[in-house]
Structure 1
């Protein structure tokens, strides 16, 4: 028992090695993995995972696509606009610029924002035009620049992530990357997927609108009114039902159902309506009593009338009791697309894919990268072992040193497998850096203990070990501080390198270096 107490650091090292082996090789141990070593979602990362381990690989080691593109938009900042003025200002600016209100967003002054901002997310509007539109309505922006606000960038990440998660690209990831000059790019990584699959989802903003079109203007002209918005919807699903065909079924929120029904009654749909001909580009060419029109990204999906039963349900309150709205579509593909866009939400702004600076990598080439990376790691271990042996020429010192350094890498691999962190080339560079810094620290320990004369007692050993460990701790703190900015800033591959290096240094300082000290103490004291 006393031996275990004295060598508890070695015991802790062995326990972590066993835990790492479990995370690496036992099917289903990391959260979200299945028995075949992939992810439960069955997405691209499941396909890129090794059959022998639970490790996941990014596009550089499994193949796939990385797309980086700026967000389309210009922003006027320093606009003195209050929350009560936001909606009206959006409409006013849209009218001045001749664009849809969906392409204008006002960020009013709030607790989180000291000054207001106005964004226009469409390509054919210039900075001068936006400034002129605001000044014509009494607003004086401090600056007008290319790009969008921080809030819009965050909404872009969340919406794209949701679109990818609910689509066939469920293994993809998205983040904002800063580039020199202050420009912000959206970076999307889809392991083991073609660029076309990614672009198909990102090319469309996913704007779904439901209009009521009815004769209610001057001289019997037609009015087009948006009657149901995404914020008023609760549950959305698509299905093929007998008598209806493929459709999207929308459950209207209870607190919005009465208002929606009343709006339909006020528009004259309470007795039903026949649609006749509908012309989206010129609604005055429409014929009939009225239409319910569904559009996706500005294109008409369906334009249909209202049956007397549905109109009656608006008037007598039955719809509010069971507020399920049926949006008919032209087949399953269209129904699924509308469901996806309603579930994920529309993109706050389009991406300028013409400036895509990403890349695609063939899986066969990625496999070669993986093999070459493994070979590089083995060469690094052999070279380190050779240098250490030349330095000490004592097998009993060299073998534990190299074994301890390798155990550090093994524990780090177990950590990566457990958190399901996709490995790329930058991460493997971090592993090699961990091997180098780890052996450096072990050499410091060995030199401090072995090069200062005979170790006669455990007290002498502990004194020398503590002296060496202070040096190691200071070096580790310096490394962590130097790498921390790279880890927290959105700098792409550099962030991955920093994360691996920092975690490796922490494992070394907290586990492997102290364990090596116990191993060396046993060897040195046994010699006496």
Structure 2
């Protein structure tokens, strides 16, 4: 192609879109921000398969029970909490979450004594509890500056309740991974005395329970309720009286710290100050504000009040690690496999057409598609072995579709008229669109499921199919038209 043809292709919206996306992807990978230390890797995120690291799979020590009762649900919950010494929460009218790994045989006598019976029994936790666990683990990982982490909830087939959580930490050894999961932070509540000075009141071990964020129906404020031990409530009352907070609450802030970092600060409530004058108060509530911002702050405060502890115990049932040296070796092998796949495809296409002016644009469009996919993955997806397999699959299916377009528009090796070309090109795109729809429908369930070994493959495959039908196939159609017209 001469320079005039190239200019015309760039001016066409299909060629211009392809060029802009390729340049934007390269900027995202290498220049936003610049990362010269990683060389060709740029800003791409690699999973532990290629980076090295550790993974833990943990089982929730909790069960969900479907029940029926002729008595009081409150009495049933109280009996369960007393006999099992654990938290019990009501999911809905027919389901209880018992946050302890107990068998059905252990539960039946307690239910029978409360005029209730067990209808169904499943291991696992409710979805809100599972979401809390994932949120707390994310908070821990982010607080330590570990961005290359993947946390997935796993639900066994036939169950509606998550039973496992899997955490993958690229570049982290096994001992550190276990410490991240099990470590609780140092939580402290202090009270403002004079000026900016504060005085210690209680530590996190004096907090007995933490509620979920609730919205006040009167003023629409979000808040988090929590309870103190008797000793904690007495220490809180003593500090409030001693420093004058009960008389002038607006001038005395309560400051909450996690690992010496302030996570909440607000003046003492007038109503609470009045209650503290007459005696200790065990049940407290921290207000975080209105709207989505207030809800987000309340959710974070709930985690901090728990001092990073998970709402339900977990037991490690599986673990593994990939040494960093082995991860680097995998990267080399994967890169070699990708290059060989591209070369093999190029050879087969050349043997079919015997025409470099067709083969080179095909490979160039295929490479540009991979660059665009990597540019998107840089923001949304870690690259593990499954994702790389998806990229290699995109190379093969992409060339297949370009061959369909080329074969359709050629007739016995001759160039068709422009009107006939457009008809055949439209027919080829129709065939490809049906193929893309099939791929997306087949991969979509895998992309939504928390199966970490397959999800990356599904996401990359779907993205490849969409980028192909929306960007690279139309661009190739314009390019091959220009080539055939010569």
Query: When the two structures are superposed, what TM-score results if normalisation uses the length of structure 2?
Result: 0.75
2:56 matched residue in structure 1:
67
Question: Does the CA contact (< 8 Å) of 2:81 and 2:88 recur in 1?
Answer: no
- CA distance in structure 1 between the aligned counterparts of 2:400 and 2:322, rounded to whole angstroms: 36
Distance 1:80 1:507, change over 3 A: farther
Distance 1:405 1:116, change over 3 A: same
- CA distance in structure 2 between the aligned counterparts of 1:255 and 1:178, rounded to whole angstroms: 31
Instruction: Kindly tell me the number of residue pairs found equivalent between the two proteins.
Output: 420
1:126-172 Cα deviation digits (max 9, x unpaired): 32222221221122231123322233222221222222222354542
Secondary structure of 1:462's aligned partner: helix
Question: Does the CA contact (< 8 Å) of 1:56 and 1:420 recur in 2?
Answer: no
Distance 1:478 1:454, change over 3 A: same
Residue correspondence of structure 1 range 158-177 to structure 2 within 5 A = 158-167=135-144, 169-177=146-154
1:384-420 Cα deviation digits (max 9, x unpaired): 0010011111111111111111111111111112x15
1:423 matched residue in structure 2:
383
- CA distance in structure 1 between the aligned counterparts of 2:435 and 2:223, rounded to whole angstroms: 61
1:143 matched residue in structure 2:
120
- Aligned mate of 1:502, from 448, 454, 462: 462
Is 1:105 the counterpart of 2:104 in the alignment?
no
- Aligned mate of 1:132, from 109, 112, 135: 109
2:182 matched residue in structure 1:
203
Secondary structure of 1:78's aligned partner: strand
Distance 1:376 1:344, change over 3 A: farther
The Cα shift of 1:340 comes to 8.0
Would you identify which runs of 4 or more consecutive aligned residues in structure 1 move more than 6 Å?
Answer: 205-210, 225-228, 253-257, 304-309
Larger radius of gyration: 1
- CA distance in structure 2 between the aligned counterparts of 1:432 and 1:452, rounded to whole angstroms: 31
1:271-303 Cα deviation digits (max 9, x unpaired): xxxxxxxxxxxxxxxxxxxx549xxxxxxxxxx
Question: Does the CA contact (< 8 Å) of 2:187 and 2:307 recur in 1?
Answer: no
Secondary structure of 1:422's aligned partner: coil
Distance 1:106 1:343, change over 3 A: closer
- CA distance in structure 1 between the aligned counterparts of 2:341 and 2:256, rounded to whole angstroms: 63
- CA distance in structure 2 between the aligned counterparts of 1:226 and 1:325, rounded to whole angstroms: 16
- Aligned mate of 2:445, from 461, 485, 488: 485
- CA distance in structure 2 between the aligned counterparts of 1:519 and 1:70, rounded to whole angstroms: 54
Is 1:361 the counterpart of 2:360 in the alignment?
no
Kindly report the root-mean-square deviation, in angstroms, between the aligned alpha carbons of the 2 structures: 4.0
- CA distance in structure 2 between the aligned counterparts of 1:505 and 1:459, rounded to whole angstroms: 28
Q: Which runs of 5+ in 1 are unaligned?
A: 29-34, 39-48, 110-114, 211-224, 234-252, 268-290, 294-303
- Aligned mate of 2:356, from 387, 392, 395: 395
Query: When the two structures are superposed, what TM-score results if normalisation uses the length of structure 1?
Result: 0.69
1:233-281 Cα deviation digits (max 9, x unpaired): 9xxxxxxxxxxxxxxxxxxx99999x99xx99xx8xxxxxxxxxxxxxx
Residue correspondence of structure 1 range 97-496 to structure 2 within 5 A = 97=84, 99=85, 103-109=86-92, 115-123=93-101, 125-167=102-144, 169-180=146-157, 182=159, 184-203=163-182, 230=210, 291-292=231-232, 310-313=240-243, 316-318=246-248, 322-324=252-254, 342=305, 345-353=308-316, 355-356=317-318, 358-417=319-378, 419-452=379-412, 454-496=414-456
Secondary structure of 2:122's aligned partner: strand
Is 1:21 the counterpart of 2:26 in the alignment?
yes
